[in-house]
Amino acid sequence: MARTNRQKCKDFIFFPLRALTLHDGDRWGLSSLASERFDYVAKEVRGYCLDVGCGKNNRFVKQYLGGNGKGIDVFPYEGLTEENIVRDMTHFPFADCSFDSVTFIANLNHIPRSNRDKELAEAHRVLKPGGNIIVTMGNPMAEMLVHHVVHWHDKIFGTDYDMDSERGMEDEEEYYCTNSEITERLLRAGFRNIAKKYFVTQWGLNHLFVGWKRN
């Protein structure tokens, strides 16, 4: 599923067009923003992966990791089974040191604020020593704009692109997390050597953080 350099160049040049489209799949010879995000994250995964907040069809694990992992979510999105559903995300149903990587792809902001430290602590617990966590988050203004555009598109045209509308925004959820909040919470959970990496082909308006569990 990795993109070629030629594909990356096309995606970079046509980013404004891609940003205005709402589809999840690739079209017109261009990568969707969702596919592109998965591609960036997959490059950081180090082995058997837990994808927290996996969303519809457990797509990241199935398509980008070749099934080498587990996807979990609190909501029964299309394509998920009971084994994907975890009602209490402050207690992952996995033993200590079960995974090489844990991912939170564009969803840390949807964890209720009072539970974020607990979930990240669980991510640290289930990681093997030397394992990593990957958290993606967009630029705050871009996140706000995208959420509102997608919400109103669904409302006007009867589509269902917005998973937040399908599930509903709960108390203590937000449209984005700041970089400082993400870094501070990762440090509190025990992660070290935290690095921030921009998505160049999205003109730096999206990025990820990688943190590591000590050996």
CATH assignment at residue 108: 3.40.50.150
- What's the pLDDT tens digit per position in 157-174? 565 555 555 565 667 888
Closest CA to 121 of 24, 184, 186: 186
Residue with the bigger pLDDT between 145 and 105: it is 105
E strand or H helix at 100: strand 99-105
Q: For position 159, what pLDDT does the model report?
A: 57
Report whether pLDDT(24) > 70: no
- What's the pLDDT tens digit per position in 147-158? 655 655 556 656
Q: For position 43, what pLDDT does the model report?
A: 96
Q: How many whole angstroms separate alpha carbon 132 and alpha carbon 110?
A: 21
Q: For position 11, what pLDDT does the model report?
A: 82
Token representation of residue 201: 């082909």
Q: What mean pLDDT is reported for the chain?
A: 87
Locate tokens 């692109």: which residue?
Answer: 161
Q: For position 166, what pLDDT does the model report?
A: 52
Q: How many whole angstroms separate alpha carbon 203 and alpha carbon 190?
A: 31
Q: For position 1, what pLDDT does the model report?
A: 57
24 in any annotated domain: no
Domain that holds residue 75: 13-19+30-212
- What's the pLDDT tens digit per position in 37-84? 999 999 999 999 999 999 999 999 999 999 999 999 999 999 999 999
Q: For position 146, what pLDDT does the model report?
A: 62
Domain count, the chain: 1
User: Counting every residue, how long is the chain?
Assistant: 215
Q: Where are the alpha helices (DSSP H) in 4-76?
A: 5-13, 15-20, 33-42, 59
2 in any annotated domain: no
Q: How many whole angstroms separate alpha carbon 106 and alpha carbon 140?
A: 12
3 in any annotated domain: no
25 in any annotated domain: no
Q: For position 138, what pLDDT does the model report?
A: 84
4 in any annotated domain: no
Q: How many whole angstroms separate alpha carbon 19 and alpha carbon 190?
A: 35
Structure confidence at residue 214 as a pLDDT band (50, 70, 90): very high
Q: For position 139, what pLDDT does the model report?
A: 77
In this prediction the pTM is 0.85
**Neighbour tally for 138: CB within 10 Å:** 23
